[in-house]
Amino acid sequence: MKPVNESSSTKTSQPTSTPEPTTSSPTPSATTGQGSFTAASWSNPIAATGESLGAIEGDTVRADIYQAAIGAASRDSSVVDATTKEPLTKAGDPLVALEFVVTNTSDETIYVDDVFATDSVRNDNFVYTGGINPSVEYEWFAEAGLFSSAVNVDKRVDNNLYELLPGESAAWTRAYKIYSPENEVEILMDGRLADGSRSTGPKLLNGTADVTIKQ
């Protein structure tokens, strides 16, 4: 596996407490073992395979969370402990690939940019500030048909404005180190206005879900 999305410069994380060991075009509708999704015309393919772990509901969108795959880190991460200088993720550490599928559940077109939405995963055994640092792996994702971005690189537009029509979906995947099965997932999603300006209203999604990783 060849990881991406890690800076070549060394990063450090400051622990909040002493770490403890872990104890345990438009594309056609894609029908999977977990359900059916209609991918937006600009979206990468949606896998929606594996274990369904739950969902986060907003007024106009829903994010379904899938455990797409289990794998292992291909190399040490560049993010290290500020004190020990040890990488937070080491080669061979177990990883879970989580796919997030966001669907427009409203009757109105939703406008988004290429950031689309952001996710974070928190675990009680991750003792550093913020969520677990994601590790995206090219080869593993390619083999599994997963994508780290919701927007297809060949379908990007200059104004960076994308329409998510009623009933359409888009998805992205992140890989996280498994510290223990119980985790909290947070997804934040901002909308845009039809003219491309950023919406000043409430976020389209701003919620959390407790998920249990199956190993």
Q: Of 37, 182, 156, which is closest to residue 101 (Cα–Cα)?
A: 37
Burial of 110 (0-12, 13-18, 19+ CB in 10 A): buried
State the pTM of this model.
0.83
Q: Residues 52-71: pLDDT tens digits?
A: 999 999 999 999 999 999 99
CA 48 → CA 63, 137, 148, distances in Å?
Answer: 12, 18, 14
Q: Which residue has the higher pLDDT, 187 or 16?
A: 187
Residue type, 17: S
Phi-psi region of 92 (alpha: psi -120 to 50; beta: other; left: phi over 0): left
Strand-strand pairing, 136-137 and 182-189: unpaired
d(CA 172, CA 190): 16
Phi, psi dihedrals of residue 191, rounded to the nearest 5°: -100, 170
Q: What is the pLDDT of residue 215?
A: 86
Residue carrying the six token digits 């040490």: 76
Q: What is the pLDDT of residue 35?
A: 52
How many other C-beta atoms are found inside a 10 Å radius of the C-beta of residue 142? 12
Q: Residues 59-105: pLDDT tens digits?
A: 999 999 999 999 999 999 989 999 999 999 999 999 999 999 999 99
What domains appear along the chain, each with residue ranges and CATH number? 36-212 (2.60.40)
CB of 34 closer than 8 Å to CB of 154: no
Residue type, 165: L
